[in-house]
Amino acid sequence: MKRGKKIIILSHCILNQNCVVKPYAKDQEEFFKFIKSFLLNNYGFIQLPCPELVILGLKRWGHVKDQLEYPNFKLECKKLLYSIVDQIDIYLKNGYEVKGVYGIKGSPSCGVNKTCRGDWEGEASCYKNLEDIINRVHLVSEKGIFMEILEELLKEKNIKLSFYDIDDWSEEID
């Protein structure tokens, strides 16, 4: 097996848990089975950048989608994605198969079928207690901001890809 001419697009943290908001990082090994199945079938990977790491840093608080839905976050996401979309376009135009995009279920940025929304703003002291903060968050059936923008930019180039969620909250990732 040499050039497989098959590609999948992965959210950054699937290959690098170092960027994940505290305390949710997992052992990288937990993604091994998923990654191995593609390697064994000679797929190559495009690793998306982690928008939250780049825009908000490693010491960020956990966010919900509502907090990221502002123009400059979206603009920065676009800047991060332009060259990725160009790469996808190049591969497709040269007859490569781009199997799809794998995001992270529930992420405000990289969720595909589910993202998290909630009535969060201001200092933690604005809320009664931790439970009050947690109870305001809920999963909704929409994409996170980064995935929405990726889909939008692909559409502008008439590229239609399948999007999948990795459920990294479950014990088994496969």
Which residues form the interface with ligand SF4 (CB under 6 A)?
A: 11-13, 19-20, 50-53, 104, 107, 109-110
Minimum CB separation of residue 1 from ligand SF4 in Å reads 29
At 85, list the tokens. 């979309």
Minimum CB separation of residue 80 from ligand SF4 in Å reads 11
Residue number, 38 or 51, with CB nearest to ligand SF4:
51
Minimum CB separation of residue 50 from ligand SF4 in Å reads 3
Q: What angle do CA 149, 151, 154 make, to 5 degrees?
A: 110
Residue number, 85 or 104, with CB nearest to ligand SF4:
104
For 101-141, the DSSP string reads EEEETB-TTT-SS-EEEE---S-GGGSSSHHHHHHTEEEES
- Alpha carbon distance 140, 83 (integer Å): 29
Residue number, 76 or 127, with CB nearest to ligand SF4:
76
Minimum CB separation of residue 93 from ligand SF4 in Å reads 27
Three-state DSSP class for residue 50: coil
Minimum CB separation of residue 17 from ligand SF4 in Å reads 8
Three-state DSSP class for residue 166: strand
Residue number, 7 or 48, with CB nearest to ligand SF4:
48
Residue number, 131 or 173, with CB nearest to ligand SF4:
173
Q: What is the CA radius of gyration of the chain?
A: 17
**Phi (first) and psi of residue 63, to 5 degrees:** -120, 165
